[in-house]
Amino acid sequence: MKGSAVAMIIILLISSAISSAGDEVEKFGPESFQARRQALLDSLGTGLALLYSSGEYGESGYRTDGHFWYLTGNDDPGAILLLAPGFRYEQVLFLEPRDPEGERWTGERPPLTDSLEKAWGYDLICRTGRLDGLVLSCMKRSPVMHLISPLRSPSYDVPPDLDYYDRVAERIPDTDVLNSSRFIERMRMIKIPEEIAAIEKAIEITHTGITDLLSAMTPGITEYQLQGILEQSFKRQGAQHMAFTPIVGSGERSAILHYERKDQKLEPGQLLLIDVGAEWEHYCADISRTFPVDGEFSDRQAEIYDLVLEAQDSAFATIRPGATIREVHEATENVFRKAGYIDYFIHGISHHLGVDVHDDADYNLVLSAGMVITVEPGIYIEEEKIGVRIEDDVLVTDKGYRLLSADIPRHRDAVERWMLGARSSAR
- pLDDT category of residue 94 using cuts at 50, 70 and 90: very high
Angle 232-61-131 from CA coordinates, rounded to 5°: 155
Domains 2-189 and 193-426 share a fold: no
Whether 396 has a pLDDT exceeding 50, the answer reads yes
In terms of pLDDT, which residue wins out, 340 or 62? 340
- What residue ranges do the domains of the chain occupy? 2-189, 193-426
Q: Are 395 and 367 in contact (CB under 8 A)?
A: no
Residue-wise pLDDT tens digits, 304-314 = 999 999 999 99
| Helix (H) or strand (E) segment spanning residue 247 | strand 247-250
Percent share of the chain, pLDDT over 90: 71
**Residue 235 contacts residue 273 (beta carbons within 8 Å):** no
Question: Comparing 214-218, 258-262, 263-267, 333-337, which segment has the lowest mean pLDDT?
Answer: 258-262
Confidence tier at 58 by pLDDT (50, 70, 90): low
Label residue 108 by pLDDT band (50, 70, 90). Answer: confident
pLDDT band at 368 (very low <50, low <70, confident <90, very high): very high
- Among residues of the chain, what percentage have pLDDT more than 70? 90
Answer for the pair 214, 419: CB distance below 8 angstroms, yes or no. Answer: yes
Report which of residues 40 and 21 the model is more confident about.
40
Topology given in CATH for the domain delimited by 2-189:
Creatine Amidinohydrolase; Chain A, domain 1 (3.40.350)
Mean pLDDT for the stretch of residues 174-190: 93
Reported pTM: 0.90
Q: What is the mean pLDDT of the chain?
A: 89
Residue 199: pLDDT over 50? yes
For domain 193-426, give the CATH superfamily. Creatinase/methionine aminopeptidase superfamily (3.90.230.10)
The letter for the amino acid at 117 is E
